[in-house]
Chains A and B, each alone.
Chain A
């Protein structure tokens, strides 16, 4: 099955810094989502981005489907950005999302 690798596994930043999270996948996809898992465990949808670029406030994402990777950019990070960021992909109308293991982000004041 498709493999999803996220890097880095852990990231520690000072408030105000910028960061880039990466998601590599091993096969073509037609569904790619980025989530933020908050300290209470809830998965918050950040982007649905099987291709192209999107921006939402301080966050933006780019997926280059032909090269099988996606990037999540966080600018001017805040302590509330802390948590685990997951990339998940789906293929060809498949029933499931395949998740990476996540990037744990810690933003210190």
Chain B
């Protein structure tokens, strides 16, 4: 089945650690995105990528990093510099930038 796969579903991080969230898509989409959702809120854009080896900061990029070495993959690293990382993280993709977006199942990150 075509789709977007995020792993893991749940992730626990100790203070001061970096963690990496995985996002893989087999839809042959060029554009990929990372969003963050806090309780009771809508989603906010962290980073996006229009093409392999290119990515741009979104509205809340501080404390996060990404890479786009393959078209199918867009991992997100939450660094120790992110002051409030506990949140629900959603990865999305679209054919090209600005077209209909499809989302993965999400990763719930908790700092312990």
Contacts and interface: CB of A to CB of B under 8 A. Distances in A.
A86 B45 contact: no
Interface in A14-36: 30-31, 33, 35
Kindly state the interface size class of chain B when it binds its partner: 20 to 34
Nearest to B106: A41
Interface string A72-109: 00000000000000101010111111011110000000
Contacts of B106: 41-42
A95 B48 contact: yes
A41 B108 contact: yes
A24 B99 CA distance: 20
B25 to A, nearest CB: 14
Contacts of A94: 97-98
A42 B105 contact: yes
Kindly state the interface size class of chain A when it binds its partner: 20 to 34
B105 A41 contact: yes
Nearest to A30: B98
Interface in B84-111: 88, 90, 97-106, 108
A94 B50 CA distance: 11
Given A40-B105, A45-B102, A101-B42, A95 B90 contact: no
B97 A97 contact: no
Among B41, B43, B59, B90, chain A packs the most CB atoms within 10 A around the CB of: B43
Closest 7 CB pairs of A and B: A99-B42, A43-B103, A96-B45, A48-B100, A93-B98, A41-B106, A99-B43
Interface of B: 31, 33, 37, 40-45, 48, 50, 56, 58-59, 88, 90, 97-106, 108
